[in-house]
Amino acid sequence: MILKGLNNQNWGYYSWWSDAIHYAVDNGAKVLNMSIGGTDVSEFLRDAVNYALNQNVTIVACMMNTNSNTAFYPAAYPGVIAVGSTNPDDKRSHPFFWSTTSGSNYGSHISVVAPGNYIYGLNYQSNTSYNSYWGGTSQAAPHVCGLASLLLAQNPELTPSQIKTLLQSTAEDQVGDPAEDTPGWDQYYGYGRINAHNALLQLSGVSNKDKKNQKFIVYPNPNNGIINLNLLNALGNNSVVTIINSLGQVVYSEEVKDQISAIHIPRVPGIYFIRVKQGTTEQSTKILIN
């Protein structure tokens, strides 16, 4: 859902942004990307932000690009996920390629950072050319929106606070300039550079340590009813595989004897749970059929 908050001179009134927030929330948006910012404090804009958060809508906003600790809004409002930018080598973007005085802003309200310099995209004057690129915290924020959307796809009941906590707790710390990216939260990188893999694993309850102890993997996920099962760690023969739909009904239950097997179930879209059991050892995971 694309809503215009800036004119062709690249500026806009807070009232426009507030109207856009209300429109998006009232029309079903769940994650808002706000790659815009102003330095004036506005109760009107803050009320719109709070309206979204209270309606369980996550707001991601860019820190802006003045290479300073100047607070821009809506990024500086409580509850918003404020995003800084990193270069391809994970160092904070300062400067961006387009200006020697530019740089990813920092400060006490920063949440996380994401790639934001030399980001390729569709040329705004073309429907087919992806040969243009740009840089800025406005390019970093959409990466965070994408990850927030992935988390919501796994659990639509997540609140903006829970999404923010997941992003921050699974971000990679100390991957940038050691002078700025210090242990734990810091004003330049926040909690670190986002990591989609870590965030999705934590949401599913599987940590990197747990993953080493996994007994099986399924792929692709999502799938079309054809599920590849790979038994790991010599779980081996005589493993009973059970697949249950979201209503608790068993749609598949068979003993598998091969380490790698292909399982076919009716292609009925929805969330399913696959369980592998051998003796007293049992593990399960969630799969999606589309």
Backbone angles phi, psi at 119, to 5 degrees: -100, 115
Find the mean pLDDT for residues 52-61.
98
Structural domain containing residue 164: 14-203
Whether 44 and 141 share a structural domain:
yes
In the chain, the number of structural domains is 2
The answer as to whether 147 is a domain residue is yes
Digit-coded pLDDT (tens) for 259-273: 788 999 999 988 889
Sheet holding 81-86, edge to edge: 31-34, 58-62, 81-86, 112-115
Q: Please report the beta strands in 66-204, taking only residues with DSSP state E, as ranges in sequence order.
A: 81-86, 112-115, 119-121, 132-134
Per-residue pLDDT tens over the stretch 140-184 = 999 999 999 999 998 888 999 999 999 998 899 999 999 999 999
Say whether both 49 and 132 belong to one domain: yes
Are 170 and 221 part of one and the same domain? no
Over residues 109-151, the pLDDT tens digits come to 999 999 999 999 999 899 999 999 999 999 999 999 999 999 9
